[in-house]
Each structure stands twice: as structure tokens, then as C-alpha cells.
Amino acid sequence: MNVAPTLGTDVSSLPPEGALASLGRPGAGSVAPTPDTDASWSSNCPLCAADGGTLVWRGARLRVIHADEQGFPAFYRVVWNAHVAEFTDLAEHERLRCLQAVALVEQTLREHVRPTKVNLASLGNMVPHLHWHVVARHTWDSHWPAPIWAAPQRPRALQQEAELAACLPALHAALHARLAQWAAEAPAHVHG
């Protein structure tokens, strides 16, 4: 059974990039958006056109979305709101804010769903708009211990997935509350 995450055709199911990175190779019939780090908005960028998933929290500079990828119920992305491609396109204080948000999501995942490991990744090969993946991994998941973009190692554990999914309402409420507090406590020039 092929349980690898699949390429979505709409922005609500933004694909994990790794398995599809070859699509972005120059000369390979590329359909990937052209990186445009100078523009504040890119017309062919799905993360400029829409949230990119179920919005958990939005601040002035970044947002956190639930990615809703099959097989990985606790899969989040921290998305920088402005269209920048690389982490080093951000000012230093912005990088700090971005990683603080990533850490906050990771910590909340650890407390609510007790993952075996949290995976952090920033690829952007398919969608070169800065975003960090924050994924709770468990030994029972279909790809463990391989990356989520690799080939599946076993069939999906639907019972465990359902139990994990049942934790999401409380997890999302906690994420929203913590992110809102984090933004409110920030110095005025660096609000989330």
C-alpha cells in the first residue's frame, strides 16, 4: 500500500517537498514557482495565495498551520507571512522570532502528543516561500525511522493515528494560546 503523502492540487494540501523535489530541477519540465525574494508577494506562490493549511494562529510576521498530511496527524508548519525564500533573507531579530515560534510548536507537541521524536525541516524546493515543518513522529508511524518524505516502512497504524488525532483540538487550543501570549509579550518592533 502506498501511503506516501501525495501531491495536492490545491493550496490546502501543500505537499511535502522532498518526494517531489525533482520536479523543480531546471530543465526537467519545472512547474515550481520561480523564487522571487525581492517581491513581497508572488502571484504563483501557494503560500502567498492562501494559508497553506488549517490556520492555527496568525501573527503580523508569521503563522502556524496544521498541514493535515495523511498518516501524520500532528504535522504543522511555521510559515513566514512575507514571501522570502531563504532563512537568511530575514533580519537577525526576525530569524530569532521564527525559531522561537518553531520551538514553541515543538514544545507544545511534546507535551500534548508525546512523540518519539519531533522532526524539524525547512526545504522549500517545491514552494520557495520560507516555512518550517514541525512534525511529531512515533515509532508506529508508517515511515519511522525514515523521513516522512522517504518510502513508507510499514502500513499505516490507523488506530494510533485516530488516537493522536483526538488530541488535536486541545493541542490547537494550546498552540493558539501560547503563540498569542508569546506575540503579546514581544517588544513592539518584533511582534510575531
Q: Report the alpha-carbon distance of residue 177 to residue 57 in Å, rounded.
A: 9
Q: Tell me how far, at minimum, the Cβ of 130 lies from Zn ion, in Å.
A: 8
Q: Tell me how far, at minimum, the Cβ of 48 lies from Zn ion, in Å.
A: 3
Please list the residues that pair with 57 across neighbouring strands: 64
Q: Which residues in the 22-41 window bind Zn ion by CB under 5 A?
A: none
State yes or no: residue 90 binds Zn ion (CB under 5 A).
no
Of 5, 33, 1, 2, which Cα lies nearest the Cα of 19? Answer: 5
Q: Which residue in the set 66, 83, 133, 138 belongs to the binding site for Zn ion (CB under 5 A)? A: 83
State yes or no: residue 61 binds Zn ion (CB under 5 A).
no
Comparison of 83 and 172: residue with beta carbon closer to Zn ion: 83
State yes or no: residue 81 binds Zn ion (CB under 5 A).
no
State yes or no: residue 108 binds Zn ion (CB under 5 A).
no
State yes or no: residue 45 binds Zn ion (CB under 5 A).
yes
Cα 142–Cα 20–Cα 140 angle in degrees, nearest 5: 10
Comparison of 81 and 142: residue with beta carbon closer to Zn ion: 81
Q: Which residues in the 124-143 window bind Zn ion by CB under 5 A?
A: 129
Comparison of 37 and 70: residue with beta carbon closer to Zn ion: 37
Q: Tell me how far, at minimum, the Cβ of 95 lies from Zn ion, in Å.
A: 18
Q: Tell me how far, at minimum, the Cβ of 45 lies from Zn ion, in Å.
A: 3
Q: Which residue in the set 48, 78, 90, 104 belongs to the binding site for Zn ion (CB under 5 A)? A: 48
Of 50, 49, 42, 46, which Cα lies nearest the Cα of 83? Answer: 42
Of 165, 147, 144, 154, which Cα lies nearest the Cα of 21? Answer: 147
Comparison of 129 and 133: residue with beta carbon closer to Zn ion: 129
Q: Which residues bind Zn ion (CB under 5 A)?
A: 42, 45, 47-48, 83, 129
